[in-house]
Structures are given as structure tokens and as C-alpha cells.
Amino acid sequence: MIRIENLTKKYNRTEALKGVSLHVPAGELFAYLGPNGSGKTTTIKILTGLAVPTSGEAWLHGYHIGRQSIEAKRQCGLVPQNINLDNELTVYENLDLHGKLFQMPKRERAAKIAELLEYVDAADRKDSPAKHLSGGLRRRIMIARALMHSPKILFLDEPTAGLDPAIRRRIWSLVKKIQQGGATIFLTTHYIEEAEFLADRVAFLDEGKIVALDMPQNLMDRLGAWALDRIENGAMQTRYFRDRDEANRSIGGQDDSFSVRRVNLEDVFISFTGKKVQP
């Protein structure tokens, strides 16, 4: 559904992407993770036609993003990181405008808006100006807007940024429902647990290169099942173990501050890059 081959992007002397290649099959929820400046948003901008690659090629549902740009754009919906609803328009008007841009007939637009507002649990707010909505509701309306033209691929760029945990989990439920409806989803996020919960596969991007790509559990299994965090000489040190008993035995009689926990995806990222993903 999404195919990228040796994609590069340069801004003056800065190389934001350095030969990225990957394939996302139909129906998959693919998480694309990395620190700020790693190239995540640049990749989405190229795939959605908002930026032109320096070199390399990409296809959306078989359409080349350069040679068949109009057809490729019709295959995807985009929920950007920044909330960009028109604040002076109502919820209904925001969605209706998007439908007009995709040349949807009036009756089809009205039916789709009614369907989507029920889908994102916002039917009672259709006449509310966007500026009066909460952050979580705005995110849901942006997702509904991106689905107006029934895209086969949905790009979610930090869809839960700045939301409290309860609202984030509500968005997670909506994202899984969209995937279960048959959409292919390409997700970027700084919340590691979000990717761990949602994604079928994960790619870690660092300084414009993919440094790891696999199913979340497979990536974690490379390290072990349990992690031992210990403060040593004022710095956090982490060791990984296959079972908890082994981790407990390694503590011994030392009095250092320590904790034993499950391995997570952030451990994997740090092991590959030496960096933390900062929200």
C-alpha cells in the first residue's frame, strides 16, 4: 500500500532523509518513531505531496507520488501534528469544505459528514464553531475530516500530542476502529507506549536513517524480557535479562537505587541510538 525506495531529502546542506526504504502492506498500522529532527514529518510531507524528495521514489496504492501526484493524493488522508481546523467555521462546515475540495457531490458530502460525526462520537457538535471545541474533540474532528473522501491510507502525525492520558486512549480506540475498517495507517508519535499498543510493526528513524524495523514484540525480545535500572555514580544504567529471577539475582546485596521492570520499546530505541524519544 505504501512503498518507499531510497528516499532522500536535503534542505540546503542538511540531509533530513538519507536513503529511506520501506514497504507497508494494506491494512497494517505502521508506527514511524524517532526523536525531533529525525525525518519523520519530512517523510509524511513527501508522501502526501507537501514536499518534493531530493531523490528516491515512493508509491501510494500503486500510484507514483511524482508522476501520478493527483491520483496518489486521493489515496490518502492526513491528520497533521498542528491543529488546523478553520476556527470560524462550524464542525459541519469544516468537513463540508474538505469534501468540496475533493469534488464530492453535495448529497454525498452530507451523508458522509453525518456518518463520520457518529463515527467519532461528535454528532451533537456539528453546529459548534471549531474554536469552541476541546483539544481532544478537535483531534477527533481532524481525523473525521481526513476520512471524508474515504482514503485507503491515513497518515497520523503526532495525533495525540498534548492530550491528557484519558483522551489519548480514546483516540487510540478510534484509530484501531479505523484500521479494523480496512484502512492502512502510518503513525508518527513521541509516545512510545502508543506505538507499542497500536502498531503491527515499528520503524525507528534516527538522523534520517531507519535503524530498526520489526514487530514491537520482536524488537523487545532482542533485548530480553526484563530490565534492571540502577543509579551508578549518579547516572542511570540499564541491564537486560531473559527472566525476572535472573534480574533479581544480579541485584545481590548492593544498596544502590534500582528497579526491575518489563522491557519496552523505548529501551529498544535507546539501545540502537543512545537517545531517548522526548514527547
Q: SS3 of 76, please?
A: strand
Residues 85-97 pLDDT 10s: 999 999 999 999 9
Average of pLDDT values for 139-164? 92
Q: By C-alpha distance, which of 86, 81, 80, 62 is closest to 72?
A: 62
Residues 250-273 pLDDT 10s: 776 565 677 889 999 989 888 887
**Domain boundaries in the chain?**
2-215, 219-273
Instruction: Report the Cα 87 to chain-centroid distance in Å.
Output: 25
Helices (H) and strands (E) in the chain, counts: 10, 13
Residues 41-73 pLDDT 10s: 899 999 999 999 999 999 999 999 999 999 999
Reply yes or no on whether the pLDDT at 189 is more than 60. yes
48-60 burial: b if 16+ Cβ within 10 Å, else e: bbebebeebebbb
Reply yes or no on whether the pLDDT at 161 is more than 90. no
The DSSP code for 214 is E
The strand pair at 226-232 and 258-262 is best described as antiparallel
Helix residue spans in 120-162 (DSSP H): 135-146
Residues 151-160 pLDDT 10s: 999 999 999 8
Residues 209-226 pLDDT 10s: 999 999 999 999 999 999
CATH architecture assigned to 2-215 = 3-Layer(aba) Sandwich (3.40)
The DSSP code for 24 is E
- Please, are residues 1 and 28 in contact by the beta-carbon 8 Å criterion? yes
- Strand stretches in 25-117, DSSP E: 29-33, 55-60, 63-64, 76-79
Reply yes or no on whether the pLDDT at 233 is more than 80. no
SS3 content of the chain, % helix, strand, coil (to 5): 40, 30, 35
* pLDDT, position 137: 94
Helix 216-223, helix 265-273: angle, nearest 10:
60
- Please, are residues 205 and 215 in contact by the beta-carbon 8 Å criterion? no
CA 10 – CA 17 distance, rounded (Å): 7
* pLDDT, position 253: 59
Average pLDDT, the chain: 91
